[in-house]
Amino acid sequence: MDTRRVLRTTGTVIAAAGLLLSGCTSGGSGGPPAAASSSAAGAAPSAEPTAVPAALRPYYEQKLSWRDCGVPGFQCATMKAPLDYAHPESGQDVDIAVARRKATGPGTRLGSLVVNPGGPGGSGIGYLQAYAGIGYPAPVRAQYDMVSFDPRGVDRSSPVECLTGPAMDTYTQVDQTPDDAAERARLVAAFKDFAAGCQSRSKRVLPHVSTVDAARDMDILRAVLGDEKLTYVGASYGTFLGAMYADLFPGRVGRLVLDGAMDPSRPALELNRDQTAGFETAFRSFAKDCVKQPDCPLGKGTPEAVADRLKEFFRKVDARPVPSGDSARPLGESLATTGVIAALYDETAWPQLREALAGAMNGDGSGLLALADSYYEREPDGRYANLMYANAAVNCLDQPPAFKGPEAVDAALPSFEKASPVFGAGLAWASLNCAYWPVKATGTAHPLTAKGAPPIVVVGTLRDPATPYKWAQALAGQLDSGVLLTYDGDGHTAYGRGSDCIDTAINTYLLEGKPPQNGKKCS
């Protein structure tokens, strides 16, 4: 399991929404600002330029040719962006897939609302067509063209590819809590093979899929959509992308909502450890609820007792995997852990998790395997979406690795296990993946301030498993115009998850431009 990513669930839709790891006031036409070189994410952006270099002008002035997507109500187009912003004159491009659902009316059209589900690696187009374009509040869809795109390296946009389906099946089963030298060697070899596969299959794009690159692409998108400023809702990792855009182009910021926020100032090690603690918090919420249910497979008692029983279950399937209905993929500890974590993103999945755990404890691992497959976006025919490949490619470029080798993991294990007695060891070892990446990181952790931008709404959920609440507090504090909106609830992200208070505050901001009071709290 790759820890440096977050997942968002909305009803029966499961889409990537996060991470881990892991726009100056201008009243002009939607024309292009000059783009600086594709500098490291850690470098402070220069003052926002007002003119565009000749090499970039064709990108900003291109016209999108919209066509039917094959999904009723949606249109699709392909946007060109330079492969390397440092050398846009090279003539090498990436194709950026874009989709929209036009404003349904009535009311005045307010422009485009760009949405991003996170990941990194989540398909914005898949998210738009399956949820945002039809499930966002009707008044918002009435006045905005709902728009999304697959960021570079993702799905339809010059995708990163790494492994075949069978090879990915093998990779997801590698033991990530190694008990001896041989298991450690197999885990390191798996990370190396994964990285080598990405280099072999995706060498051209790997150096150019950073969040800085995606944010620059988003400014081209804003311009070609004809919008003077960007209106945007980003979930989880999408908050990092949105904050990066605001920091690069503060004067191009319109109404930005950053839901399930990341803290861009924290290095990879701290982000992974924080997220580990977040999953422990979410598991304790699940455990408190589970013991009240008649079908709780983990028994009764305190959350600590429930955690001990889950750890014992993981130990058993580590030693002896249980049948899953797929003879090539019995349910071992790695897949079982991934299945549990997948269900912790959304409290509505808790009944499914109880049923899946009960089945696995009685020799049927199919339920937990199905949850793990949803996390990895594995199709029934064995094909994988490129989510996990793009996820690693972006994360490993955005920051230096959390660990440089197994010895560093050993040193950090106590702190990870303190953060989560249940998941700590596995998530610590999973954080080793970027150590063997074939492309050196171009970014570093640093605060994003977006100095001069209008109010930006940052949303945090108190018991969010994947983006801990303190990250939202930190990002709202870093942003020059950050406004913190808090949801006292469980699950990952808050908008559209059942809180009328949250939804009303965000809808009012998107439709009327009135942000909530800083510090507003909803339940």
Q: pLDDT, tens digit, for every residue of 66-120? A: 999 999 999 999 999 999 999 999 989 999 999 999 999 998 999 999 999 999 9
Q: φ, ψ for residue 4 (rounded to 5)? A: -85, 55
Is 233 a residue whose pLDDT tops 50?
yes
Residues 191, 328 within the same domain: yes
Q: Sign of the CA dihedral 42, 241, 475, 425?
A: negative
Residues 337, 486 within the same domain: no
Q: What is the DSSP letter of 129?
A: I
Residues 37, 113 within the same domain: yes
- Domain boundary among the residues 436, 462, 493 is at 436
Give the CA distances from residue 63 to residues 66, 77, 78, 82, 225, in Å, rounded to whole numbers and listed in that order.
9, 10, 10, 16, 9
Structure confidence at residue 464 (pLDDT):
95
Any domain includes 217:
no
Mean of pLDDT values over 457-484: 97
Q: Of 427, 268, 397, 468, nearest to 334 (Cα)? A: 427
Residues 85, 185 within the same domain: no
Is 221 a residue whose pLDDT tops 80?
yes
Mean of pLDDT values over 436-460: 98
Catalytic residue selected from 123, 157, 202, 236: 236
Is 18 a residue whose pLDDT tops 80?
no
Residues 192, 246 within the same domain: no
Catalytic residue selected from 112, 492, 499, 503: 492
Residues 260, 273 within the same domain: no
Q: How far apart are CA 389 and CA 510, in angstroms?
A: 33
Residues 375, 495 within the same domain: no
From the DSSP assignment, how many helices (H) and strands (E) are in the chain?
A: 18, 12
Q: How far apart are CA 175 and CA 490, in angstroms?
A: 29
Q: Is 373 a catalytic residue?
A: no
Instruction: Show contacts of 127-131: CB within 8 Å, 24+ apart.
Output: 127/13, 127/15, 128/74, 128/99, 128/100, 128/101, 129/69, 129/71, 129/74, 129/99, 130/13, 130/15, 131/10, 131/11, 131/13, 131/15
Residue 243 in contact with residue 448, Cβ under 8 Å?
A: yes
Instruction: Give the model confidence (pLDDT) of 314-328 as tens digits.
Output: 999 999 999 999 999
- Mean per-residue pLDDT of the chain: 91
Q: Of 106, 186, 165, nearest to 141 (Cα)? A: 106
- Domain boundary among the residues 390, 409, 436 is at 436
What's the CATH code of the domain at 472? 3.40.50
Any domain includes 229:
no
Instruction: Give pTM, 2 decimals.
Output: 0.91
Axis crossing angle, helix 165-173 with helix 181-202, rounded to the nearest 10: 150
Mean of pLDDT values over 238-254: 97
Structure confidence at residue 50 (pLDDT):
54
Residue span of the structural domain in which 137 resides: 23-160+242-265+448-522
Q: Of 398, 402, 343, nearest to 375 (Cα)? A: 343
Residues 34, 105 within the same domain: yes
Catalytic residue selected from 464, 490, 499, 503: 464
Query: What's the chain's length in residues?
Result: 523
Instruction: Give the model confidence (pLDDT) of 119-141 as tens digits.
Output: 999 999 999 999 999 999 999 99
Total number of domains in the chain = 2
Mean of pLDDT values over 448-475: 97
Q: Is 464 a catalytic residue?
A: yes
Confidence class for position 6, pLDDT limits 50, 70, 90: very low
Instruction: Give the model confidence (pLDDT) of 19-35 as tens digits.
Output: 333 222 222 223 333 33
Pairing between β-strand 111-116 and β-strand 230-235 as defined by DSSP bridges: parallel
Residues 364, 249 within the same domain: no
Looking at the DSSP assignment, which residues form a beta bridge with residue 268?
none
Residues 384, 492 within the same domain: no
Any domain includes 346:
yes
Confidence class for position 53, pLDDT limits 50, 70, 90: confident
Give 7 or 12, the one with higher predicted confidence.
Answer: 7
Of the chain, the percentage scoring pLDDT greater than 70 comes to: 90
The number of angstroms, rounded, from the C-alpha of 70 to the middle of its chain's C-alpha atoms is 26
